[in-house]
Structure 1
Amino acid sequence: MSVMQKIISCGTRLDAVTGPLTRLARCSRGIHLGSTDSAARKLIPNEYEEPLIRTSIPGPKSKELLKNLDNITKNTGGVQYFVDFKESLGNYIVDVDGNRFLDTFMQISSIPVGYNHPAVLDALRDPEYLHIMVNRPALGVYPGSSFPTSLDRALLSVAPKGLKHVQPMMCGACSNENAIKQALLWYRREKRGGDPPTQEELETCLHGQEPGCPPYTVLSFDGSFHGRTIGCLSMTHSKPVFRLDIPSMDWPCAPFPRLQYPLEDFEAENRAEEDRCLKEVARQIEESRAKTRDVAALIIEPIQGEGGDNHASSYFFNQLQKICKEHGVAFIVDEVQTGCCTTGHFWAHEAWNLPEPPDFVVFSKKMLTGGYYFKEEFAVDGPSKVFNTWMGDPPKLLMLAAVVDVIKKEGLLDLARESGQHLMDGLQDLQAKYPQHLSRARGMGTHAAIDSIDGDTAAKIVRMARDKGVIMGACGKQSIRFRPSLVFQPHHVDIAIDTFNDVLSQL
């Protein structure tokens, strides 16, 4: 079994690559796991001890604010409650009605070291950086003198091995958009042999016609999510709500493996499934080229998030990179959700042991700012080809630099592994105790999920857990997912698993 298979196997996880961790003592309830020594010290001073529910959810203040907001935006269907961010701390989010929740979802996986971490607050309070906060420069034209140093400290210091260049952006969607754009520019440059564009290309491109706009395509995967902008929607295949009524480009979509669990019981079947998907990737690339609709780039998530926390083995990703190399296709890894330690690796693709780095690695969410790392041969060959007004956000780099310092000083990468194992142990126990409700526990680090029997039951579980003071997420057709902060300790896991058990006992 490969390292990646061991990591995501139900029953054998990160201890397969980081050394064994002691199985933790159980309490009388049968699933609540005793905390390890690391839980004795709070990583966030004065963090709350437990959830506290004072009103129904949403409470009266949230309901009143919701009416006001709906009058303004007419787009409040997803709002659950309004947050008192001043009172939120560490792993706990507090709403305007005084309800306090243990947050294992963290603003859709985008808060790295919890709410109001002192180190991040201190970075923003420093008067030396006040001018950076009040001025938002057009970084592609007028960057401040501290910008190169900020990029080095915040982004290059944690760059994936072998990637020495980074392009900052604003969010995950625009990062994916521009990584794709840069890959397409590279592909066209390669096809021209380095020659400048012709006059005909310059004229026809303004009308979206060939040869100025070549019919190149980007291959993505069934179940994928890469953003909600028009270009990214053409590579997103996870939920109808994302794409319904929106025109999109006719780009190829390959199957992503659907593994059977526990992995050690289905090695042959899962290898056959991955080989089937790899064969289809190669077929689609070859078929597209035969139709003069070359696949210029392939984009993939290490773990499909919105599509249902779908995993694949290191074998699959190694073979995928090999196919891209053989066909001259850019290999883009979308680490918007998986980047920044959540999987027990700073970058999830590190677990694959690739012979060389991906061509692009895209980031956002827990990295606080958006952007992508890339190989030197993919650099743009002229100004304004990859460009927008801001191309990043300097205050976010200050925050990220503080976060990186905290990760190193507090050993949060190791904590993600420890808490991740603790979480998976708890999910396994729940799965064994409630087989009529749960199956397919899986994860890397604290980036974990488990399936319910159907979507309605998953939604009900998430809602009931919230009403008991624990925030969980949902994804795919019937999965419940966990995306806690990097300061999520084993004693926080205990609270989440105990609440999960209470919910299941009431179904």
Structure 2
Amino acid sequence: MASIARSSLRVRSVARLPAVRAMSTTRVLRADKPFFPEEPSGPKVVTAIPGPNNKKAAAELNEVFDVRSMNMLADYTKSVGNYIADLDGNVLLDVYAQIASIPVGYNNPHLLKAAASPQMANSLINRPALGNFPSADWASILNTGILKVAPKGLDQVFTAMAGSDANETAYKAAFMYYRQRERGGPEVEFSEEEIASTMNNQSPGSPQLSIMSFRSAFHGRLFGSLSTTRSKPIHKLDIPSFDWPQAPFPQLKYPLEEHAQENAAEEQRCLQEVERLIKEFHNPVAAVVVEPIQSEGGDNHASPAFFNGLREITKRHNVLFIVDEVQTGVGATGKFWAHDHWNLQTPPDIVTFSKKAQTAGYYYGNPALRPNKPYRQFNTWMGDPSRALIFRAIIEEIERLKLVENTAITGDYLYAGLERLSQQYPEHFQNLRGKGQGTFIAWDTPNRDEILVKAKSFGINIGGSGASAVRLRPMLIFQKHHADILLENLEKIIKQ
């Protein structure tokens, strides 16, 4: 760590870095026009990170707020585009982006304009309890924003506050649908026994049903979502959990093309276990929830064939199929929704979203998934119109700049550069994954946590997932010249 601190005292400006070998990651001046012309030409590191100003501010914050999980204190007034600034004048290329949550850059002018609009001011100072007092323009806000990019086959939305909340309410919808079907339809009234027993948390009013998730999954930290989260013990310790099943998620071997037969067998094994659990688990399975790419759990991938198999199994057993697109959605994989890569014959029953959408909720298409009575799916806010307005502006910017296409193109370029590094430094770039998945790329490396810390001294803010993975979560405005900067510095980091 001492060597990291000493090296970070030197000013680093990518524009002055020497060239590296052509077979690794030679910096090439790109002709792609920057989406943010006012961006820095590269990172700038002028102090150790954290520097004196950040340390002082962190100590002050610690008096009133738990800072033990803090990555860095940021100066958002000086952050721009792909670059995040701190309080000491350091400017880092941000390929972590608030845990995959910034889509179109810091201080994006179009979002600033939307934030300053009269419609935004009205929604902020008169925040409505949406279930009771929605604004007259709420349908318009939804139709021109959230629903404009709804996944194929899903034309309704329930808005929520955060990703965990989106999954919680999706699970509730699944349970209500399951019991409604058992009763014989939405018009059948609750029995006296159901009404009385549910007040004591007992069956039949509070039935012993379940949601199936997968080993290493992450779906949130609220009670229902936490019961489906299987990524790290620290998230779950001391918290009571529901008795719900977990199925194995495929553990693929890389490179994929060298292990096609083994990987296909592994996916088939997992699908067989999913079907067995649906048939045999003691608490009937109302829904299966899955991430297109297990993100917090280590950036674990599976093939479109696996997910098509899941869809087929859930259809056959009349179990809802919930796709958690909280981290993968809104363009990160080179398609607006990651499950678009699967080419499903029938769409998921529910798709949850948040993060890059800057709002949250779930999409659905089947009218029977709307509760049969009011107040069953309800809270005071039920989302936030101001965040929905920001998502609308994000969608407009994505469409204007063709950012999903940009992410697909840049992702291919970045993956090729990482592939070259993995061939040159195989001990540092293991199990490279995410080919054809936009910039949603990861690899495993020894001493991962040390690498993440060291990266800051080179002007790179990067994150990890699982036990040993480095995960890339750049913004949709990340371009080839940013990829050159990242690749060049990754090589320097591992060589130091």
Short-chain TM bin: over 0.9
- The residue number in structure 2 matching 1:492 is 482
1:367 to 357, 365, 373: 357
| 1:231 and 1:249 in contact (8 A); partners too | yes
Q: Aligned in 2, Cα 1:401/1:33: closer, same or farther, shift over 3 Å?
A: farther
Cα distance in 1 for residues equivalent to 2:178 and 2:191: 16
Instruction: Give the number of aligned pairs.
Output: 473
State the 1:133 CA deviation: 2.0
Tell me if 1:256 matches 2:249: yes
What letter corresponds to residue 477 of structure 2 in structure 1? V
Cα pair 2:157 2:362 within 8 Å, conserved: yes
Whether contact under 8 Å (2:30, 2:481) holds in the other structure is no
* Structure 2 residue aligned with 1:423: 414
Q: Deviations over 1:264-319 (max 9, x none)?
A: 1111100100000000000111112xx3x210011000000011100000110011
Q: Which runs of 5+ in 2 are unaligned?
A: 1-18
1:136 aligns with 2:127: yes
Structure 1 residues 153-180: Cα deviation after superposition (integer angstroms, max 9, x where no partner): 1111100011100111110000000000
Which residue number corresponds to residue 281 of structure 1?
274
Q: 1:321 aligns with which of 304, 311, 331?
A: 311
Q: Report deviation, 1:128.
A: 4.3
Q: Deviations over 1:342-374 (max 9, x none)?
A: 100000001101111100000000011000101
Given that residues 259 and 312 in structure 1 are in contact (C-alpha distance below 8 angstroms), is that contact kept between their aligned partners in structure 2?
A: yes
CA–CA distance in 1 between the matches of 2:90 and 2:422?
29
Which one is further off, 168-177 or 61-70?
61-70
1:378 corresponds in structure 2 to 369
Q: Deviations over 1:251-275 (max 9, x none)?
A: 0000000111111111110010000
**AA of the residue aligned to 1:274:** E
Tell me the residue number matched to 1:17.
none
CA distance in 1, matches of 2:208, 2:372: 21
Please list, as runs of the form range in 1=range in 2, the aligned pairs for 1:86-105 lying within 5 A after superposition.
Answer: 86-105=77-96
Kindly provide the CA deviation profile for residues 5-28 of structure 1, in whole angstroms up to 9, marking residues without a partner as x: xxxxxxxxxxxxxxxxxxxxx963
Tell me, what secondary structure is at the counterpart of 1:168? strand
The aligned residue for residue 51 of structure 1 is 43
Distance in 1 between residues matched to 2:379 and 2:29, nearest whole Å: 48
Q: In 1, are the aligned partners of 2:217 and 2:296 still within 8 Å (CA)?
A: yes
1:348 to 335, 338, 350: 338
Q: Normalising by the residue count of structure 1, what TM-score does the alignment of the two structures yield?
A: 0.91
Instruction: Give the aligned residue type for 1:30.
Output: M
Greater Cα offset, 60-69 or 337-346: 60-69
Deviations 1:325-353 (A, max 9, x none): 11111100000000000100000001101
Q: Which residue of 1 aligns with 2:224?
A: 231
Q: Could you report, residue by residue, the CA deviation over 1:77-114 in whole angstroms, capped at 9, with x for unpaired residues?
A: 11132111011000000011111000001000000101
1:34-82 deviation digits (Å, cap 9, x = unpaired): 558662x110131111111111111112111211221112x21111321
Residue 297 in 1 paired to residue 287 in 2? yes
CA distance in 1, matches of 2:97, 2:226: 24
Is the CA contact (8 Å cut-off) linking 1:58 and 1:80 kept in structure 2? no
Q: C-alpha separation between the residues in 2 aligned to 1:170 and 1:196?
A: 30
**Aligned pair 1:440/2:434, yes or no?**
no
Q: Find the counterpart in structure 1 of residue 387 from structure 2.
A: 396
SS of 1:101's equivalent in the other structure is strand
Question: d(CA) in 2 for partners of 1:176 and 1:33?
Answer: 43
Distance 1:59 1:499 in 2: 21
Identity rate, percent:
44
Letter in 2 for 1:144: S
**Equivalent residue for 1:67?**
59
2:214 aligned to which of 212, 216, 221: 221
Using the TM superposition, give the Cα deviation of residue 193 of structure 1 relative to its aligned residue in structure 2, in angstroms.
0.8
1:479 aligned residue: 469
Q: Which residue of 1 aligns with 2:236?
A: 243
1:236 alignment partner AA: T
Paired with 1:84 and 1:259, the residues of 2 have a C-alpha distance of: 40
Please, what is the CA RMSD of the aligned residues? 1.3
> Structure 1 residues 129, 476: CA separation in 2 closer, same or farther (over 3 Å shift)?
closer
Is the partner of 1:447 in helix, strand or coil? coil
SS in structure 2 at match of 1:234: helix
**Cα distance change of structure 1 residues 306 and 363 upon mapping to structure 2, 3 Å threshold:** same
Contact 1:33–1:426, Cα closer than 8 Å, also in 2: no
Distance 2:26 2:124 in 1: 44
Contact preservation (8 Å) 2:287, 2:322: yes
For residue 43 of structure 1, give the secondary structure of its aligned residue in structure 2: coil
CA contact (8 A) 2:25 2:421 kept: no
Aligned residue runs from structure 1 range 72-83, under 5 A: 72-73=64-65, 75-83=66-74
Unaligned 5+ runs, structure 1? 1-25
CA distance in 1, matches of 2:26, 2:270: 38
Q: Which residue of 2 aligns with 1:458?
A: 448
Cα separation, 1, equivalents of 2:219 and 2:31: 35
Letter aligned with residue 497 of structure 1? L
